[in-house]
């Protein structure tokens, strides 16, 4: 009898696990309460990156001075942009749903919870729309229910002016001015997005550096760009309240108050202070699954919870909250459920995950960071090349940023790197491959690359 594999949640973790397990011969059921594709398609990666792409095109059109073009005033058609976002989402959702159906995966639209370690209760509707509750028995279960925006008790988002990141789509109107609370990856992407669409943006930064966990040199390039674009950075300030008020002129505004007494007024505010896992109401007590103190499922290197046949992947697992990581975890879980770990099987190394920040300029990094190596006294070789030294950057009329490669001085093995500049999210793949495959800097130097291309800076940095 085939392994009965039940997956709760159809986001990147759930749908990748489903597809891979079906290919490997499991009998797979996916229960999804919203849409296959998950939050990643509905609110997170896809809508945000689509809006950023349109904002980027707008910014590029405005930056065309020096390109030999006549200056044209570009504007945004909010309705057309909304249609564009919806059509991309639909296309991706349809593609993933069709793939799973064609592989024989049973897709159930409903809400699931564990009744026991082996029984999953599904609440759905029948063909006539009447409520239907039934239970399926599983040999293995994957919990892939994702996360949702964290909302502190001092803030009450209303979806109109006080927003979470999920309230920003569809973009019915663009705010005149907006205060972004939170200066991590999501916060800076939203700053970039709203600034591209012409809003007056203030960023509340709790530390002295935006992107506090990133290389200071990388963060400095972004801060510089924000300042040039008129973004107001409120450093060393923690928001303590966000409220709607009517000012003396009778105009409604959103007032963000900070712990040091500073106050910011704008037409809107958006919270970007992280997320919380969707582990409540999942029946995890009944299944005996342990959570950590922040509510994430504790997992081992195979993504197994303390209950051997119950796995967790994606944001619910408390590892890197990235769609790419969720998908890879899903893939590894499918292999483990089907007993493939006994074959040649490489474990997921979270330290080698590439990540990108879709700002202007783009930022991407992978592997060992310079500061982390210094912190543990590890000897490294750091080479840095500015894009301004490449012909392609001059041709592009955009020479901001640099490539930094970190390698082992004794062996030349590439340990990590960061890239700031145009197409950084694509270019980092070369360093990511080198880090994963233990390639040496000489392997990059000896690759015959395209000319003129921004990738030439990679070869130069590897020299
Ligand atoms: C604004 C924003 C932008 C982002 N951009 C990027 C990016 O560019 N690149 C990147 O790699 N990552 C990005 N991320 C992170 C990425 O979205 C998440 O890491 C990813 O969605 C996690 O995938 P997942 O499968 O764990 O969960 P999700 O995508 O959240 O899917 C979980 C699914 O489970 C379903 N579900 C929950 N509970 C139940 C239940 N009881 N029964 C049935 N179904 C249930 C939900 O409806 C949901 O569809 C972004 C995040 C945010 C907030």
Does 361-462 match 4-148+277-337 at the fold level?
no
Q: Tens digits of per-residue pLDDT, 253-272?
A: 999 999 999 999 999 999 99
Q: State the pTM of this model.
A: 0.95
Q: In sequence order, which residues have a C-beta less than 8 Å from that of residue 56 and are 6 or more positions away?
A: 196, 360
Residue identified by tokens 């229960």 is 31
Give the strand order in the sheet containing 355-357: 355-357, 363-367, 414-420, 402-407, 381-386
Question: What is the distance in A from the centroid of ligand 1 to the CA of 208?
Answer: 30
Instruction: Please identify, by atom number, the ligand 1 atom nearest to the C-alpha of residue 31.
Output: 43
| Encoded tokens for 48 | 């945000």
Q: In sequence order, which residues have a C-beta less than 8 Å from that of residue 231 and are 6 or more positions away?
A: 191, 195, 201, 202, 203
Per-residue pLDDT tens digits of the chain, which is 463 residues long: 779 999 999 999 999 999 999 999 999 999 999 999 999 888 899 999 999 999 888 877 777 777 887 766 778 888 999 999 999 999 999 999 999 999 999 999 999 999 999 999 999 999 898 999 999 999 999 999 999 999 999 999 999 999 999 998 877 778 999 999 999 999 999 999 999 998 999 999 999 999 988 888 889 989 999 999 999 999 999 999 999 999 989 999 999 999 999 999 999 999 999 999 999 999 999 999 999 999 999 999 999 999 999 999 999 999 999 999 999 999 999 999 999 866 555 678 999 999 999 998 899 999 999 989 998 999 999 999 999 999 999 999 889 999 999 999 999 999 999 999 999 999 999 999 999 999 999 999 999 999 999 999 999 999 9
Question: What is the distance in A from the centroid of ligand 1 to the CA of 43?
Answer: 8
Q: Which residues form ligand 1's pocket by a CB distance below 6 Å?
A: 8-14, 31-34, 38-40, 44-45, 48-49, 111-112, 144-146, 165, 186, 278, 282, 314-316, 321-324, 326
361-462 CATH pick, 3.40.50.620, 3.90.230.10, 3.30.390.30, 1.10.287.110: 3.30.390.30
Res 158: pLDDT:
96
Q: What is the largest CA-CA distance in the chain?
A: 73
Res 42: pLDDT:
87
Superfamily of domain covering 151-273:
FAD/NAD(P)-binding domain (3.50.50.60)
Question: What is the distance in A from the centroid of ligand 1 to the CA of 372?
Answer: 29
Nearest to 367 by CA among 319, 445, 430: 430
Nearest CA residue ID for atom 39, ligand 1: 145
Q: Where are the domains of the chain?
A: 4-148+277-337, 151-273, 361-462
What torsion, rounded to 10 degrees, do the Cα atoms 52, 403, 426, 398 define? 50
Q: In sequence order, which residues have a C-beta less than 8 Å from that of residue 61 and are 6 or more positions away?
A: 72, 74
| Encoded tokens for 298 | 């504790």
Q: Tens digits of per-residue pLDDT, 36-63?
A: 999 988 889 999 999 999 988 887 777 7
Instruction: Please identify, by atom number, the ligand 1 atom nearest to the C-alpha of residue 45.
Output: 5
Question: What is the distance in A from the centroid of ligand 1 to the CA of 454?
Answer: 32
Nearest CA residue ID for atom 17, ligand 1: 40
Nearest to 454 by CA among 362, 358, 354, 356: 362
- The whole-angstrom distance between residue 385's C-alpha and the CA centroid of its chain comes to 27
Rounded distance between C-alpha atoms, residue 463 and residue 405, angstroms = 10
Q: How many CB atoms lie within 10 A of CB 396?
A: 17
Nearest CA residue ID for atom 27, ligand 1: 146
Res 169: pLDDT:
82
Residue identified by tokens 């750091």 is 382
Q: Give first-to-last CA distance, the chain, whole Å.
A: 56
The fold adopted by the segment(s) 4-148+277-337 is FAD/NAD(P)-binding domain (3.50.50)
Give the strand order in the sheet containing 111-114: 111-114, 119-125, 131-137
Question: What is the distance in A from the centroid of ligand 1 to the CA of 310?
Answer: 19
Query: 52, 125, 145: which to mutate for ligand 1, most atoms within 8 A of CB?
Result: 145
CA distances, 95 to each of 35, 92, 439, 457 (Å): 12, 5, 35, 36
Rounded distance between C-alpha atoms, residue 121 and residue 144, angstroms = 15
């Amino acid at each position: 009898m085939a392994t009965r594999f039940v997956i709760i949640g159809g986001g990147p973790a759930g749908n990748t696990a489903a597809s891979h397990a079906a290919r490997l011969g499991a009998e797979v059921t996916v229960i999804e309460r919203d849409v296959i594709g998950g939050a990643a398609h509905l609110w997170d990666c896809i809508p945000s990156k689509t809006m950023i792409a349109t904002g980027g095109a707008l910014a590029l059109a405005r930056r065309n001075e020096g390109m030999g073009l006549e200056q044209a005033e570009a504007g945004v058609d909010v309705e057309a942009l909304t249609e564009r976002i919806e059509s991309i989402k639909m296309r991706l959702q349809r593609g993933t749903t069709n793939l799973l159906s064609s592989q024989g995966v049973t897709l159930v639209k409903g809400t699931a919870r564990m009744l026991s370690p082996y029984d999953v209760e599904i609440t759905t509707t029948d063909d006539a729309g009447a409520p239907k509750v039934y239970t399926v028995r599983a040999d293995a279960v994957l919990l892939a229910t994702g996360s949702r925006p964290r909302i502190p008790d001092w803030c009450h988002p209303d979806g109109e002016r006080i927003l979470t990141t999920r309230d920003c789509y569809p973009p019915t109107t663009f705010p005149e001015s907006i205060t972004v609370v939170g200066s991590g990856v999501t916060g800076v992407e939203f700053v970039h997005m709203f600034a591209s669409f012409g809003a007056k943006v203030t960023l509340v930064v709790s530390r002295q550096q935006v992107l506090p966990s990133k290389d200071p040199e990388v963060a400095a390039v972004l801060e510089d760009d924000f300042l040039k674009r008129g973004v107001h950075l409120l450093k060393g300030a923690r928001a303590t309240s966000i409220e709607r008020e009517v000012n003396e002129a009778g105009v409604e505004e959103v007032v963000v108050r900070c712990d040091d007494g500073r106050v910011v007024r704008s037409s809107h505010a958006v919270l970007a202070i992280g997320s919380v896992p969707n582990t409540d109401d999942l029946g995890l007590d009944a299944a005996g699954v342990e959570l950590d103190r922040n509510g994430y499922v504790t997992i081992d290197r195979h993504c197994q919870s303390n209950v051997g046949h119950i796995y967790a992947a994606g944001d619910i697992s408390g590892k890197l909250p990235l769609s790419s990581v969720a998908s890879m975890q899903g893939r590894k879980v499918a292999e483990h459920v089907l007993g493939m770990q006994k074959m040649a099987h490489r474990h997921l190394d979270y330290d080698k995950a590439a990540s990108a920040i879709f700002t202007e300029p783009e930022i991407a990094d992978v592997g060992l960071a310079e500061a982390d190596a210094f912190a543990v006294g590890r000897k490294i070789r750091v080479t840095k090349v500015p894009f301004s030294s490449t012909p392609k950057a001059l041709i592009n009329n955009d020479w901001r940023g640099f490539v930094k490669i970190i390698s082992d001085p004794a062996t030349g093995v590439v340990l990590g790197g960061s890239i700031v500049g145009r197409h950084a999210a694509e270019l980092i793949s070369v360093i990511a491959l080198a880090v994963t495959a233990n390639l040496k800097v000489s392997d990059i130097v000896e690759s015959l690359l395209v000319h003129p291309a921004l990738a030439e800076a990679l070869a130069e940095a590897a020299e």
